[in-house]
Amino acid sequence: MDSTLPRVAADTALYAEVLDWIHTEAELLDDLREREWLETMVSRDVTYAVPLRQTVERARGRGFSPDTFHLLETYGSLDSRVTRNETPYAWAEDPPSRIRHFVTNVRVRQSGDPDIVAVKSNLLLHRTRQDQSLPQLLSAERHDELRREDGRLMLLRRDVLLDLTVIRTHNLAIFF
Amino acid sequence: MTSHTDSSAKLLDAVTEGAEKGVIPASIFGDPDLYRQELRNVFGRCWVFLAHESEIPAKGDYVLRKIGEDNFIVVRDDEGEINVLFDACRHRGVQVCRSDSGNTSHFRCPYHGWTYNTKGNLVGAPLWRNAFGGMSKENNGLASAAKVASYQGLVFGTLDQSAPPLKEYLGGMAWYLDLVFGLNEHGVEVLGPPQRFVIDANWKSGAENFSGDDYHLGTLHRSVWEIGAFPVPFHENMMGYHIQASPGHSLSFSMAQDANEPGPNYFGFPDELAQSFNTTNISADQLEVARRSRVFVGNVFPNFSMLALPMTEDGSNHPPVGILTLRTWQPHGPGQVEVWNWFAGYKNLTPEQKDRAYRAGLGTFSMGGAFEVDDTEPWITVSRNGASTAAELLDFQLNYEMGKPGVGISKPVKEWPGPGRVQWTRYEEGVQRNMYGFYAEMMRSAPGQWPSLVFPEDAAADKEHRA
């Protein structure tokens, strides 16, 4: 997100709307209401990416690859994932792991397009499976763009910038 | 101590005996003593895959890779040669490579500043004359892998000076690598750096699966047919060949019985690409086998796997297209494996075709992919049960009998243009029995000694041929 874009203050209606959107999304994903999330919160034009990260020297930046990913999704492929999880053979997440999205540090900026807001947030994803007592934790910064479509904010773009190079979880059959 | 060694030796005896009969002790997936022996006798001796040449095209390009659990710098030097250097300073053993990949002329230790060139030679240290004047720089370079070699762009290294040449180690497998990577004069390149993920499983589960476990698709991966990710129905996909290319290395082709069935051909690679395939680097027989193949999956012992097949991440918008994934199963303790996953494609694919193949591969065969997300699920419990006291006390044996004489419909094939032991239909676990038979021999071989790298019947035929 371009940090020169005008910041939307926390005491505005727009900020409150974005925050409410984030909380609603987290609830749907935590409750495994993935179909509802896809159909009511995700734009048909969505790009959803989790770029690959490498350890590099400070001078070379943060190490995110511009063209290699852990996930690179469109609406069609997200729909494919949701559909897969609805089959009785999606062993990876059946029984499902228990997931909690903790979203903080929400920063909202206006974009050049009046219908689009740019949102940065920090994500801590807490996950356990079966009788695991120690959680898997995935920490990331999310860079989102939300577009107003027929009056509702919809997810147009999400980049999930993980704080990891080697991912220690049994699969990524989850939504960030 | 003695009892531990005894238990490993007993396990290995059981593997050797069981690899013939089709029973493998579950404890090999969790025994810690066996694991330590694997690091030394398997990963410390075999040729292991490190990188693809296209990852380090320019002088000074390097990637940080693993042999067993240990870090090695794979670097192209000023003369264009690839060196594999142990990432440990000669002075105090400190890591000298600080990034996963990059380009450099030197590696400098952060501790006292010993500095090495891309051949691993020591070139200097701060205030050299005061500190080390009179001392030779020779013999104070970084340690290197004992041998380094490439085949079809695939870079391998071994820590064992007594290892046979790579081509000899690959044995019959080389013929099959040719027809995946050498279909035209352009060859293959990786599509970006590898994904890395750690799961609580034993490395052998991945290796045996890619040696040719096609039967699991019908149950574990049933969901992918429901979403239209893969075009060949389960039953039809079980038709094809299981091949023990040479001791340790196994592979599998999905292929219709009718040579002229409509396809997919060439692992589902685009037709425009297929038109560029030719016999410049391979034989007409190899080209024909590739043409007829819907799926290729294989494992170079111990831990380098490949898979080529038609896939789509979004069946409603994109038809399946041939993807190619390369991966290593890096050991990380008896109950943990780090999976490295590369996508690759022919260099003469168009940018659009590369993008399509990359997306299709990522959406299916990666840690978030529709196929692969399910694979980790069983492997986690294989290793948990393998480490269990129950498996040890009950002498719990796993069944690897599919396709043995009298078991199922798979039959040996006599007429086949390539090397190895060949079975028709993929209802067969000889490919795994081959991996474990060689594994046990490798584990038992004394330093400097190597198990046979050819099957007895091939050795006899070769002798006859020469006579």
- Asked if the Cβ–Cβ distance from B313 to A84 is below 8 Å, we say no
Whole domain around residue A89: which residue ranges? 13-162
* Predicted pLDDT of residue B251: 98
* Predicted pLDDT of residue B431: 98
Identify which of A69, A73, A91 has the shortest CB distance to residue B377. Answer: A91
Condensed to tens digits (0 to 9), the pLDDT of residues B93-113 reads 999 999 999 999 999 999 999
State which CATH number among 3.90.380.10, 3.40.50.80, 3.40.50.300, 3.30.9.10 fits the domain covering B171-444.
Answer: 3.90.380.10
CA-nearest of A136, A71, A133, A72 to A99 is A136
* Predicted pLDDT of residue B465: 66
**Claim: this prediction has a pTM higher than 0.90:** yes
CA-nearest of B161, B20, B28 to B443 is B28
Q: Which of A88-92, B148-152, B362-366 has the highest mean pLDDT?
A: B148-152
Range A106-128 average pLDDT: 96
Range B131-155 average pLDDT: 97
Distance CA B157, CA B74 (A): 10
CB B331 within 8 A of CB B69: yes
Strand partners, A47: A157
pLDDT at B462 over 80: no
CATH number of domain containing A65: 3.10.450.50
Q: Which residue in A97, A127, A171 has the most chain B C-beta atoms within 10 A of its own C-beta, making it the best mutation to test that interface?
A: A171
Range A68-81 average pLDDT: 94
Q: Which residue in A53, A55, A69, A80 has the most chain B C-beta atoms within 10 A of its own C-beta, making it the best mutation to test that interface?
A: A80
Average pLDDT of chain A, as a whole number: 94
CB B202 within 8 A of CB B333: no
* Predicted pLDDT of residue B5: 67
In a domain, A3, yes or no: no
Q: Where in chain B is the domain with CATH 2.102.10.10?
A: 51-149
What DSSP element (H or E) covers B435? helix B430-444
Identify which of A50, A72, A171 has the shortest CB distance to residue B373. Answer: A171
3-state secondary structure of A16: helix
Distance CA B450, CA B447 (A): 8
A154 token code pair: 């919809």
B403 token code pair: 């396709």
A152 token code pair: 């509702």
Would an 8 Å CB–CB cutoff place B368 in contact with chain A? Answer: yes
Distance CA B72, CA B224 (A): 37
Cβ density class A43-82: b for 16+ within 10 Å, e for less: beebebebbbbbebeeeeeebbeeebbbbbbbbbbbbbbb
- Asked if the Cβ–Cβ distance from B376 to A71 is below 8 Å, we say no
In a domain, A1, yes or no: no
Would an 8 Å CB–CB cutoff place A60 in contact with chain B? Answer: yes
ipTM of the complex: 0.91
Strand partners, B64: B73
Would an 8 Å CB–CB cutoff place B227 in contact with chain A? Answer: yes
Would an 8 Å CB–CB cutoff place B381 in contact with chain A? Answer: no
Confidence band (pLDDT; 50, 70, 90) for B466?
Answer: low
Confidence band (pLDDT; 50, 70, 90) for B461?
Answer: confident
- Asked if the Cβ–Cβ distance from A56 to B227 is below 8 Å, we say no
β B70-76/B82-86 pair status? antiparallel
Confidence band (pLDDT; 50, 70, 90) for B458?
Answer: confident
Q: To the nearest 5 percent, what fractions of chain B are helix, strand and coil?
A: 35, 25, 45
pLDDT more than 90, % of chain B? 88
In a domain, A4, yes or no: no
Distance CA B101, CA B439 (A): 32
Confidence band (pLDDT; 50, 70, 90) for B195?
Answer: very high
Identify which of A56, A84, A170 has the shortest CB distance to residue B223. Answer: A84
Residues of B in contact with A57 (CB under 8 A): 98-99, 102
Condensed to tens digits (0 to 9), the pLDDT of residues B208-266 reads 999 999 999 999 988 888 888 888 999 999 999 999 999 999 999 999 888 898 889 99
Cβ density class B38-53: b for 16+ within 10 Å, e for less: beebbbbbbbbbbbbb
Neighbour order of strands in the sheet with B122-124: B106-108, B115-117, B122-124
Q: Which residue in B197, B318, B339, B341 has the most chain A C-beta atoms within 10 A of its own C-beta, making it the best mutation to test that interface?
A: B197
Superfamily covering domain B51-149: Rieske [2Fe-2S] iron-sulphur domain (2.102.10.10)
Range B134-148 average pLDDT: 97
Condensed to tens digits (0 to 9), the pLDDT of residues A10-41 reads 999 999 999 999 999 999 999 999 999 999 99
DSSP secondary structure string for all residues of B248-277: TEEEEEE--SSTT-----GGG--HHHHTT-
Would an 8 Å CB–CB cutoff place B197 in contact with chain A? Answer: yes
In a domain, A174, yes or no: no
- Asked if the Cβ–Cβ distance from A70 to B367 is below 8 Å, we say yes
CA-nearest of A39, A4, A8, A41 to A114 is A8
Range B159-166 average pLDDT: 98
CB A41 within 8 A of CB A24: yes
Residues of B in contact with A69 (CB under 8 A): 362
pLDDT at B392 over 90: yes
- Asked if the Cβ–Cβ distance from A89 to B219 is below 8 Å, we say yes
CA distance B362 to chain A (A): 7
Identify which of A60, A74, A172 has the shortest CB distance to residue B367. Answer: A172
* Predicted pLDDT of residue A4: 82
* Chain B residues 13-72 with a CB less than 8 Å from chain A: none
Q: Where in chain B is the domain with CATH 3.90.380.10?
A: 171-444
Contacts of A22 (CB under 8 A, 6+ apart): A103, A106, A119, A121
* Predicted pLDDT of residue B2: 40
Would an 8 Å CB–CB cutoff place A130 in contact with chain B? Answer: no
pLDDT at B267 over 50: yes
Average pLDDT of chain B, as a whole number: 95
pLDDT at B328 over 60: yes
In a domain, A69, yes or no: yes
For chain A, how many structural domains are there in total? 1
* Predicted pLDDT of residue B1: 39
pLDDT at B276 over 90: yes
- Asked if the Cβ–Cβ distance from B192 to A68 is below 8 Å, we say yes
Distance CA B253, CA B426 (A): 8
CA-nearest of B429, B433, B451 to B18 is B433
Give the residue with greater pLDDT, B73 vs B259: B73
Question: What are residue A104's phi and psi, to 5 degrees?
Answer: -135, 180
CA distance A142 to chain B (A): 18
pLDDT at A166 over 70: yes
